[in-house]
Chains A and B, each alone.
Chain A
Amino acid sequence: MDNKNISADRKKYLRKIRINKITILITQILLLVAFIALWEILADAKIINSFITSSPSRILNTFLNMSDSNLMMHIGVTVYETIIGFIAGTLLGVIIAILLWWSEFLSKVLEPFLVVLSSLPKTALGPIIIIWVGAGTPAIIVMAIAISLVVTILDMSNGFLNTDKEKIKMAKSFNASKLQLLTKIVIPSNISTFINTLKVNIGLSLVGVITGEFLVSKAGLGYLIVYGGQVFQLDLVMTSVIILGIVAAIMYQSVVILEKIILREKK
């Protein structure tokens, strides 16, 4: 950027954009602060029952008291299960999508089953999973995989099948083998499909893990939420939900950063 040659109009324009950005950020912060302050004041004044709604100060206290106990352990468990479920679900889904691309017959045969599986609420499989793999971490991970797998298969194989026909034809005119079509045309054409799948999957895996933890676990944020609910400790529930929100945001942002790295390499 050459700062010396900027015209007055351009300066004005850039300033306008910057001010607009700052205004939005300030409003967002104010909104959050106002919400927290209102919550705290209403709870303090006993207008709302903080036994049911908790309050920001109680949440902060819970958080601080838990840090020396095992909050980090619970966060760690949830993150660990989510990452394993996410990686396994994505990998497995992509591999199956590749197989479906490879064999049109297989793809046609499996299509109705996949459609049914994709509309089936995967949480309904919970009891089956528990009986099959046991009530513990494996069941939670399987749950996370179950939730993200079918979506991955459908999205990726849809992307693969919609690869530009002309590009395929071009490669075929050089006598490309099916494997070459896959590695040189189809997979690189679908990088953005893949990144979108990652973004969807990180959320879905977290849904799977929390559902799994609700059902079986003895640790993790999902466990804390259920436990807190059962002993009527709304402070614990609220704290866990807030932490969960932060964890989800960080995981999503990691995928966004990964996307930027991949796209920068390509450009």
Chain B
Amino acid sequence: MSKNILSVKNITKIYQAKNGETIALDNIDLDIKKGEFVSIIGPSGCGKSTLLSIIAGLEEKNTGEIYLDGKKVDGISSEIGYMLQKDSLLEWRTIYNNVILGLEIRGIKTKENEEYVNNLLKKYNLYEFKDKYPTQLSGGMRQRAALIRTLAVKPKLLLLDEAFSALDYQTRIMVTKDVYEILREEGITALIVTHDISESISLSDRVVVLSKRPAKIKAIHEIKFDMQNRTPINCRERPEFSKYFDTLWKELDING
């Protein structure tokens, strides 16, 4: 029994193109403990999203292994949820039919699971909108609906790929807080890719800094706030926040 929910070992990714090959990821090793929130930051184009796609099983890797709860994962795992920048709600389906899409695709649309979804909708204030269409909802509500769609299939690990960057600033702060609280409440481990240093500090227990291409792990920072009931909003006011920001900023900038 390992207490690491996710172990990424020696992941290398090489892109082949007509004019040569590009090493995107160079021997990435990463362990994530159960319940932990980990962010990955790095210069743009360094391959952070690629890493997430590989963990999600949506992209092939050249070398390396991925273990979820000690078991080797090959391809798409039913225990890993994936959230993208766009909410990708299907505008021809009602909110309810959108959030059960994963259950439908996986062929597990059982009574219990539907009840679970209904409870999630109630708990996170979307139940009364379940017969509405996505266009009738605000950006924040849509992102929450997208999160419930992901949670409906009960993943152990959630991957968030710039999941908030399409939202305007205020909505984004609120949605980040919502998502943070929902994931903590449901006890889900999260691996977050973002280009936003503040977001990474405010959300995570650890921040992983990747170097530019070929991406290696440059540093891993523990983020600790000396406070109770930390939320992504109130931790921004702590003095530690700006120290972390400085450290990460320099790391991204200097050797970029």
A interface list, Cβ under 8 A from B: 164, 166-167, 169-176, 180, 184-185, 188-189, 191, 266-267
Contacts of B78 in A (CB 8 A): 175
- Chain B, residues 171-203, CB within 8 Å of chain A (1/0): the string is 000000000000000000000000000000000
Would you call A174 and B105 a contact (CB within 8 A)? yes
Contacts of B58 in A (CB 8 A): 169, 172-173
Determine the main DSSP class of B at the interface with A: loop
Contacts of B153 in A (CB 8 A): 174
A166 and B106 in contact, given A173-B56, A173-B58, A188-B92 (Cβ under 8 angstroms): no
> Of B56, B85, B101, B133, which one neighbours A171 at CB under 8 angstroms?
B101
Would you call B88 and A166 a contact (CB within 8 A)? yes
Q: Does B130 contact A (CB under 8 A)?
A: no
Contacts of A170 in B (CB 8 A): 82, 84, 88
Complex-state Cα separation, A191 to B90, whole angstroms: 13
Complex-state Cα separation, A171 to B92, whole angstroms: 15
Would you call B101 and A173 a contact (CB within 8 A)? no
Complex-state Cα separation, A170 to B133, whole angstroms: 18
B interface list, Cβ under 8 A from A: 56, 58, 76, 78, 81-82, 84-86, 88, 90, 92, 101-102, 104-106, 133, 153
Tell me, rounded to whole Å, the shortest Cβ–Cβ distance linking B39 to chain A.
Answer: 20
Instruction: Show 14 A/B contacts (Cβ-Cβ < 8 Å), sorted by A.
Output: A166-B88, A167-B88, A169-B82, A170-B84, A170-B88, A172-B58, A172-B76, A173-B76, A173-B81, A174-B106, A175-B105, A176-B105, A188-B92, A266-B92
Tell me, rounded to whole Å, the shortest Cβ–Cβ distance linking A131 to chain B.
Answer: 46
Would you call B92 and A175 a contact (CB within 8 A)? no
Contacts of B88 in A (CB 8 A): 164, 166-167, 169-170
Complex-state Cα separation, A266 to B90, whole angstroms: 11
Tell me, rounded to whole Å, the shortest Cβ–Cβ distance linking A265 to chain B.
Answer: 9
Would you call B105 and A171 a contact (CB within 8 A)? yes
Tell me, rounded to whole Å, the shortest Cβ–Cβ distance linking B241 to chain A.
Answer: 32
Tell me, rounded to whole Å, the shortest Cβ–Cβ distance linking A175 to chain B.
Answer: 4
**Identity of the chain B residue whose Cβ is nearest the Cβ of A168 in the assembled complex:** B88
A173 and B82 in contact, given A167-B90, A180-B105 (Cβ under 8 angstroms): yes
Would you call A174 and B92 a contact (CB within 8 A)? no
> Of B76, B81, B84, B105, which one neighbours A184 at CB under 8 angstroms?
B105
Tell me, rounded to whole Å, the shortest Cβ–Cβ distance linking B107 to chain A.
Answer: 10
Complex-state Cα separation, A22 to B12, whole angstroms: 70
Tell me, rounded to whole Å, the shortest Cβ–Cβ distance linking A159 to chain B.
Answer: 14
Would you call B106 and A175 a contact (CB within 8 A)? yes
Contacts of A174 in B (CB 8 A): 76, 101-102, 105-106, 153
Would you call A267 and B133 a contact (CB within 8 A)? yes
Contacts of A185 in B (CB 8 A): 90
Contacts of A176 in B (CB 8 A): 105
Contacts of B81 in A (CB 8 A): 173
Tell me, rounded to whole Å, the shortest Cβ–Cβ distance linking A187 to chain B.
Answer: 10
Contacts of B84 in A (CB 8 A): 166, 169-170
Tell me, rounded to whole Å, the shortest Cβ–Cβ distance linking A165 to chain B.
Answer: 10
Tell me, rounded to whole Å, the shortest Cβ–Cβ distance linking B55 to chain A.
Answer: 11
Contacts of B82 in A (CB 8 A): 169-170, 173
Contacts of A175 in B (CB 8 A): 76, 78, 105-106
Contacts of A169 in B (CB 8 A): 58, 82, 84, 88
Complex-state Cα separation, A55 to B193, whole angstroms: 75
Complex-state Cα separation, A267 to B58, whole angstroms: 32
Contacts of A167 in B (CB 8 A): 88, 90
Complex-state Cα separation, A82 to B105, whole angstroms: 39
Complex-state Cα separation, A166 to B53, whole angstroms: 12
A184 and B101 in contact, given A169-B84, A173-B81 (Cβ under 8 angstroms): yes
Contacts of A184 in B (CB 8 A): 90, 101, 104-105
A175-B105, A184-B101 given; name 5 further pairs at CB < 8 Å.
A166-B85, A169-B82, A174-B101, A174-B106, A266-B92
Contacts of A180 in B (CB 8 A): 105
Tell me, rounded to whole Å, the shortest Cβ–Cβ distance linking B59 to chain A.
Answer: 10
Complex-state Cα separation, A173 to B106, whole angstroms: 10
Which of B85, B102, B133, B153 has the most chain A CB atoms closer than 10 A to its own CB?
Answer: B102
Complex-state Cα separation, A172 to B84, whole angstroms: 12
